[in-house]
Structure 1
Amino acid sequence: MADITLVNMNMLYIKYLDGRIHRQCHLPLGPLYLVSALRAAGVDVDFRDYQLLEAEELFEPDVLCDFLADPAPVIGISCMANLLPFVLYALPAVRARYPHSKIVLGGVGPAAIEQHILERVGAADVISRGEGEINATRLVRALNEGSPLSEVPGIWFRSNGDIRRTEQIPRVQDLDALPRPSYEELDFKKYVGHNILGSRGCPYPCSFCSITPIWGWKAFSRSNEDIIAEMQNMHHEHGVRQFLFQDEYFVSSPERMIDFSRRLKQAGLPVTYKAFARVDLVNQESMRAMADSGCVEIRFGLESGSDRVLERTRKGFDTRRAFEVVSLANKIFRSVDAFYVWGFPFETSDDFNASLFQMITLRGMGVRVLPSLLTYLPQTRIFEEIPDPGRLEFCHHLLPEYMISGIESRGTVRVKIDEKYAGLFDFVMSNRDIFPGFFHLDVESNIHPKLELLEEFEFYKPLDRDPESCGAHSPTDDEHGLTLNA
């Protein structure tokens, strides 16, 4: 028997109101890095990827229990915030089915709310926070051998009726030294998104972002040589032709990207790639070098067309810089995406109209504009700054794009909740502090008027015209059939 059954619960699964289902399977990089580290330390890992499960109904507790058949003594589950409700809702059934297995939660979903989860979800035994390559081996062995969990860093656990937290684990600074993700058992043909890691973390303090606080507002990058060596391996061994750099800080400076582009061209790989970037970390020379080396899509988080909102959210650049860089990028790359966040509680009508004007202008230039309703995640400063979290409202017909769970049926941003999932959403509504990302502030006065304008200007088009026009993912790339998740 394996020492741990490690389950990836991160997935993009969308049900539309007309019955269509849109799902994309991307390489689960985080869990695969963890698998490699555990196996390198001699831990026997049984890895399972829930996003590959072919089932008529994915979001029933019994389906997850069946998927976990014959688990190891330790069950580790990695999930993000959008699937955290289903995972926690299903854990009592998992505990009842497999009473002798210890259940460990990880990933970004439980971050910053570990205490709340352990207080209310008795089926969860341990929550791990931080880079698992450092503490996972010690945790698995402690659980299997019965040694004190207090000696394992980076975890939350129960002890004699109390919830305890151990010391925070340090960041991994030398990413090149990590074992590469464990691809040996994967069927690459089942994955349409071939992610590759360029960095971990982000140093920027954007108040609405959940990534930067999880990483402690610090970023560390892999060397360009190491990244390209992995790209060569993935291309030659697994036939990968397009790579997705989904980390926030891969494009960390013009100099880094010029060097990366030069090395990639010298390698002679017949591949393309897509990447996220900040408008203040690129220039004309670096963008031309990226395009010349095979970058077919660059994605910018502009967030707002109002300087007041950009300053309030600590974005770090102004609207003039944003517009100039995106306009230039649009002349260089085959595809340019501009992401906007709307629905800030301090976003006035003038602020929103400034964003709308900028969005319309960029769209007219050929830029793909992707608006996303503000998501209040518990790790974010904007959530911490809410004077009265009790004002958060649940809206049955409107959920933020980044909280697509696969349980609701969607039009564009508007949703319909099936009656059979009422219990799960009751669970969400009764645990506002665990699941604030599903809630809003001032729906009637702040959200609905802005949504109506976005719909009027067709940023949220009717389902039969553009079923994928939401900010959580972009339309299929015609040439490669791939999508880059937001």
Structure 2
Amino acid sequence: MRIVLVNVPHPAIGSRIPREQLPPYGLLCIGGPLIDEGHDVSLVDGEFGPMTLAALVAEVVRRKPEAILFGHSGSSSAQPIIAAAARTLRERLPRARIILGGVHPTYYWREILRDEPAVDFVVRGEGEETARRLLRALSLGLPTGCIPGIAFRENGLPVATAPAPVITNLDFYRVGWELIDHARYSYWGGKRAVVVQFSRGCPHLCNYCGQRGFWTRWRHRDPVLLAKEIARLHRDHGVEVFNFADENPSAGRTPWRAFLEALIAENVSVTLVGSTRADDIVRDADFLHLYKQAGFERFLLGMENTDEATLRLIRKGGTTTSDREAIRLLRRHNILSMATWVAGFDDQSDADLLRGLRQLISYDPDQIQALYVTPHRWTPFFRLAKERRIVQADPTRWDYKHQVLAMTRMPPWRLFLWVKFIEAAAQLRPRSLRRLAWNPDPKIRHAIRWYYRMGRRVWIHEILGFLFRDRLESDGPTLGAFLGAPQDHEEEASSVPVRARAARKPLAAAT
């Protein structure tokens, strides 16, 4: 079967400003099993350019696909763009099957199938096995109603099969690296780059996270096999930077250390960047030198807030003490720390934001990423926020970089000024500028200077967007009225096998 994987352009994401692209890892994960199944698979990456909708459609039509698979690289904010592309492609390719997958479609399959007649199927949850089964059935003309993990229409109404089982062996399906030209993808200041994944899921229960339930449970790849894959990509394709897509790769201390040691044994000079929890950094204080030897140059630490009450509200599970200690430990090993700070969790005042700035500066991270809380209907946080009013009705702006929820004590323009001021104050203080001027490690020096160049451009871009592009609601509907009823009862997207479910708690304790 001739299949085209489509990554739509997503111009709302400010980080596209540096004009560096990372490959759409999720689509490559789907592509590998489909290629191995014998299908003719290709990728159209609309992020290059970015492509206009007309150009994207023309390129897909030129390849004459029998099936078109859209992946949700931008989650909810990508849906309007995907829907527009699907409608146009349905007109041009009436016989092609159009399939959606990713986080947003997993939970919004009813609305998508109700409102978008161009879409034939939705893949719910992890897609490697489900997409393989679905495309095999379509190519052979077999019934699809017994395939777990999909949604479709039956007698004109949206229906879904049972959730697909969680994938327990992440090494069983290979990534379709042959779908991309590695020379076109770069990150970290022009270095050839890809996205990789050591684990899926997260054992923690942060109630606002839109990813945790999608993966259902935490699992990891074979540490040695991933190390070998990274080494091969470096040696055969010149890949220098590996961006980890994991929510919490270091959740398991033993397998994580095994991966670091295996990569060090491969003796390749690579740059690794990723996200983890401050608690894990503190826990691993005795072997943080292995992080550095393996190639880690930066960790994004999901701190979310500097206020203990807010951390309890969102069930973060961490403490401000461990956040501070993690930053200190990373600096001791010359690994950059990027602290995320999220505005809009509660009804903040000017005094609250000023206190938050002072606390953030006292943490002394190397970099910060200021975001806005973005509620998802399938998370427990949605119930806490469903009576709050929204200020942003354009779903393409629900990308964590635009304010979504109204604040009682301040209008959107003032919160925006605070966020921009917090970013500038944290990055332009004398201590940060001294680090910009000099670092003994040339790789870290390059990383710091690249980040400042990129950050300056993104900062200006976001100010111009707020002033001239974004449209904010002065009296918007409540979150519940805008999105619908909570669906946190459906948060876990995959079914856990009985044996794995029984072993879940001991497994978490053992790792």
Q: TM-score, normalised by structure 1?
A: 0.79
Task: Check the 8 A contact 1:195/1:246 in 2, yes or no.
Answer: yes
SS at match of 1:360: helix
1:103 deviates by 0.9
Match of 1:440 in 2: 405
Match of 1:266 in 2: 265
Matched, 1:336 2:322: no
1:254 deviates by 4.1
In 2: Cα distance, 1:87 partner to 1:224 partner:
35
Equivalent in 52, 63, 67 of residue 74 of structure 1? 67
* Cα 1:326/1:254, change in 2 over 3 Å: farther
In 1: Cα distance, 2:383 partner to 2:89 partner:
32
Matched, 1:108 2:103: yes
* Cα 1:186/1:111, change in 2 over 3 Å: same
Equivalent in 105, 110, 132 of residue 137 of structure 1? 132
1:457 deviates by 4.3
SS at match of 1:402: coil
Equivalent in 392, 395, 399 of residue 394 of structure 1? 392
Which letter does structure 2 place at the counterpart of 1:184? Answer: E
1:446 deviates by 6.2
Which letter does structure 1 place at the counterpart of 2:64? Answer: P
1:84 deviates by 1.5
Task: Check the 8 A contact 2:99/2:120 in 1, yes or no.
Answer: yes
* Cα 1:478/1:301, change in 2 over 3 Å: closer
Q: What RMSD, in angstroms, separates the aligned Cα atoms of the two structures?
A: 3.2
Which letter does structure 1 place at the counterpart of 2:19? Answer: R
Matched, 1:373 2:372: yes
1:128 deviates by 0.7
Equivalent in 18, 31, 44 of residue 27 of structure 2? 31
Match of 1:187 in 2: 181
Which letter does structure 2 place at the counterpart of 1:223? Answer: D
Matched, 1:95 2:90: yes
Equivalent in 138, 147, 155 of residue 152 of structure 1? 147
In 2: Cα distance, 1:483 partner to 1:248 partner:
23
In 2: Cα distance, 1:388 partner to 1:71 partner:
47
Match of 2:115 in 1: 120
Task: Check the 8 A contact 2:207/2:380 in 1, yes or no.
Answer: yes
1:440 deviates by 2.1
In 2: Cα distance, 1:132 partner to 1:152 partner:
12
Residues 402-425 of structure 1, C-alpha deviations (whole Å, 9 max, x = no match): 36xxxxxxxxx6xxxxxxxxxxxx
Match of 1:299 in 2: 300
In 1: Cα distance, 2:30 partner to 2:248 partner:
21
Q: TM-score, normalised by structure 2?
A: 0.75
Q: How does 1:350-361 map to 2 (within 5 A)?
A: 351-361=352-362
In 2: Cα distance, 1:399 partner to 1:455 partner:
17
In 2: Cα distance, 1:267 partner to 1:323 partner:
33
The gaps in structure 1 that reach 5 residues or longer are 404-412, 414-437, 463-474
Match of 2:57 in 1: 65
SS at match of 1:378: coil
Which letter does structure 2 place at the counterpart of 1:323? Answer: R
Matched, 1:452 2:417: yes
Task: Check the 8 A contact 2:347/2:409 in 1, yes or no.
Answer: no
Task: Check the 8 A contact 1:7/1:77 in 2, yes or no.
Answer: yes
Matched, 1:208 2:201: no
Task: Please identify, of 7-16 and 302-311, the stretch whose mean Cα deviation from structure 2 is larger.
Answer: 7-16
Going by fraction, where is helix more abundant, 1 or 2? 2
* Cα 1:100/1:444, change in 2 over 3 Å: farther
In 1: Cα distance, 2:11 partner to 2:122 partner:
23
Task: Check the 8 A contact 2:182/2:237 in 1, yes or no.
Answer: yes
Percent pairwise identity: 25
SS at match of 1:459: helix
SS at match of 1:149: coil
1:44 deviates by 2.7
In 1: Cα distance, 2:94 partner to 2:129 partner:
28
Task: Check the 8 A contact 1:194/1:244 in 2, yes or no.
Answer: yes
Match of 2:485 in 1: none
In 1: Cα distance, 2:4 partner to 2:210 partner:
27
1:37 deviates by 0.8
* Cα 1:381/1:95, change in 2 over 3 Å: same
Task: Check the 8 A contact 1:309/1:351 in 2, yes or no.
Answer: no
